[in-house]
């Protein structure tokens, strides 16, 4: 059953009453939602009602829970949006999907989009999300959490080469790996090739002991982490052993033609122009490429141009190539990460504005 939201039979009441401050009349609403399963309602509200608290901060409403019931109070539009968010999240919990604060953020953005697309009287009764999703055997459906991720997933489906740029924590690499795994599991690709340039982040590690795999694994660990998120460990190990999955530094790509494969280049801001050209020209028949990176975190030597920055400039009008740009507001890793990225971006913008011509 869906959460109760009818005036009598489904347990929801909506009351609108004007609050008249001097010279202003602001309409407010009170909405009561009663859910049919106490255990699921508890998962929806979160540990110590943290999901409700997050909803309150984001939408400027109050949400008071008691058992399987929650009362939302606030501005009419914000209260209505909170209702859509809670109903959509309850559907996810009922289907066994995990729920995090990032999912709450995603549901808020979905509900805002739905509210813009549909007048209140014509809102879709199903409550299903408007954002796209990918699916793998291990994780099941993975839904975009914001409009940028939705655009990204659609671009991955429709283009042979996709550039994704943006700050850490926006899901660029994670979603690309998930999409690649889904193509592999559906038989639309025969191989999965994941690569990164072996460049240290602002430090020199010097000699690394071990064989070749042990030397390059530290650079590729984030890709392994994403891969294990979407595939069972035994399947990953089997894929690595058979060559169906290949994780290699960028230098190993030279001279190859990659056919019937999904190829991901991560941390592409640390490629040189020649490395990027070499990588892009590896694309063979039946293959797709995804190139991700953050132009604000370039670790190349001073004066060295980033291959990612150059590539998006040169290839901006080439047919079959898509470019998706993530912003600080699209960070889904942790709300504090979003605020950190915003602070750094604001500081960079301030420094640029203080320089002659506004140039770095």
Is the pLDDT assigned to residue 109 strictly greater than 70? yes
Q: Are residues 65 and 173 in the same domain?
A: no
Structural domain span for residue 218: 134-358
Q: Which of 73, 95, 130 is the last residue of a domain?
A: 130
Structural contact between residues 104 and 51, judged by C-beta atoms closer than 8 angstroms? yes
Instruction: Report which listed range, 6-15, 129-138, 270-279, 346-355, is most confident.
Output: 270-279
Q: Which of 72, 100, 130 is the last residue of a domain?
A: 130
Q: Are residues 95 and 221 in the same domain?
A: no
Examine residue 2 and state whether it is found in any structural domain, yes or no.
Answer: no
What CATH number did the domain enclosing 30 receive?
3.30.1370.10
- Output the pLDDT for position 22: 56
Structural contact between residues 281 and 275, judged by C-beta atoms closer than 8 angstroms? no
Q: Are residues 232 and 293 in the same domain?
A: yes
Q: Are residues 108 and 165 in the same domain?
A: no
Is the pLDDT assigned to residue 202 strictly greater than 50? no
Q: Which of 95, 130, 165 is the last residue of a domain?
A: 130
Q: Are residues 119 and 151 in the same domain?
A: no
Tens digit of each residue's pLDDT (9 = 90 or more) over 216-253 = 666 677 788 889 999 999 999 999 999 899 888 887 78
What are the Cα distances from residue 247, in Å, to 89, 177, 244, 334? 36, 12, 10, 27
Quote the number of domains for the chain.
2
Distance CA 64, CA 265 (A): 46
Question: Residue 84: which residues within 8 A CB-CB, separation 6 or more?
Answer: 111, 114, 115, 123, 127
Examine residue 6 and state whether it is found in any structural domain, yes or no.
Answer: no
Among 240, 189, 234, 191, smallest CA distance to 217 is for 240
| Residue bearing the bigger pLDDT, 127 or 101 | 101
Is the pLDDT assigned to residue 211 strictly greater than 90? no
Is the pLDDT assigned to residue 52 strictly greater than 70? yes
Examine residue 205 and state whether it is found in any structural domain, yes or no.
Answer: yes
pLDDT (mean) for 99-120: 69
| Residue 62, number of CB atoms within 10 A of its CB | 15
> How many angstroms separate the first and last alpha carbons of the chain?
57
Give the pLDDT band of residue 205 (cuts 50, 70, 90): very low
Q: Are residues 330 and 201 in the same domain?
A: yes
Examine residue 179 and state whether it is found in any structural domain, yes or no.
Answer: yes
- Output the pLDDT for position 10: 36
Q: Are residues 111 and 55 in the same domain?
A: yes
What CATH number did the domain enclosing 176 receive?
3.40.50.300
Examine residue 1 and state whether it is found in any structural domain, yes or no.
Answer: no
Distance CA 187, CA 294 (A): 31
Distance CA 324, CA 327 (A): 10
Coil, helix or strand at residue 189: coil
State if pTM tops 0.85: no
Structural contact between residues 2 and 87, judged by C-beta atoms closer than 8 angstroms? yes
Tens digit of each residue's pLDDT (9 = 90 or more) over 298-347 = 888 888 899 999 999 999 889 889 999 998 888 876 667 767 877 877 77
Examine residue 4 and state whether it is found in any structural domain, yes or no.
Answer: no
- Output the pLDDT for position 273: 93
- Output the pLDDT for position 23: 53
- Output the pLDDT for position 347: 79
Examine residue 7 and state whether it is found in any structural domain, yes or no.
Answer: no
Q: Are residues 54 and 181 in the same domain?
A: no
Q: Are residues 325 and 218 in the same domain?
A: yes
Q: Are residues 120 and 140 in the same domain?
A: no
Q: Are residues 83 and 146 in the same domain?
A: no
Examine residue 9 and state whether it is found in any structural domain, yes or no.
Answer: no
pLDDT (mean) for 17-41: 74
Q: Are residues 113 and 236 in the same domain?
A: no
């Amino acid at each position: 059953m869906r959460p109760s939201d009818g005036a009598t039979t489904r347990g929801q009441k909506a009351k609108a009453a004007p609050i008249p401050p001097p010279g202003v009349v602001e309409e407010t609403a009170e909405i009561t939602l009663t859910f049919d399963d106490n255990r699921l309602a508890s998962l929806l509200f979160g540990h110590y009602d943290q999901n409700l608290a997050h909803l309150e901060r984001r939408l400027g409403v109050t949400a008071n829970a008691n058992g399987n019931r929650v009362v939302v109070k606030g501005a009419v539009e914000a209260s209505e949006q909170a209702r859509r968010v809670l109903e959509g999240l309850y559907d996810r919990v009922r289907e066994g999907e995990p729920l995090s604060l990032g999912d709450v953020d995603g549901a808020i953005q979905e509900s805002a989009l739905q509210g813009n697309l549909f007048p209140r009287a014509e809102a879709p009764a199903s409550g299903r999300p408007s954002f796209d999703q990918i699916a793998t055997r291990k994780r099941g459906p993975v839904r975009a959490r914001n409009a940028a991720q939705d655009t990204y997933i659609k671009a991955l489906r429709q283009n042979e080469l996709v550039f994704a740029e943006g700050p850490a924590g926006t899901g660029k690499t994670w979603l690309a790996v998930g999409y690649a795994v889904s193509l592999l599991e559906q038989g639309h690709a025969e191989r999965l090739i994941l690569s990164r340039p072996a460049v240290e982040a602002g430090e020199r590690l010097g000699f690394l002991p071990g064989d070749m795999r042990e030397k390059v694994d530290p650079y590729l660990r984030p890709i392994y982490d994403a891969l294990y998120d979407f595939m069972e460990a035994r399947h990953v190990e089997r894929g690595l052993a058979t060559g169906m999955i290949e994780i290699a530094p960028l230098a190993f790509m030279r001279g190859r033609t990659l056919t019937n494969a999904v190829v991901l280049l991560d941390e592409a801001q640390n490629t040189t122009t020649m490395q990027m050209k070499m990588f892009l020209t590896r694309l063979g028949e039946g293959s797709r490429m995804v190139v991700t990176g953050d132009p604000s975190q370039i670790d190349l030597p001073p004066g060295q141009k980033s291959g990612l920055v150059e590539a998006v400039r040169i290839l901006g009008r080439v047919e079959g190539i898509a470019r998706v740009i993530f912003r600080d507001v699209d960070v889904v890793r942790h709300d504090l990460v979003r605020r950190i990225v915003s602070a750094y971006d604001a500081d960079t913008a301030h420094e640029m504005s203080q320089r002659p011509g506004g140039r770095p």
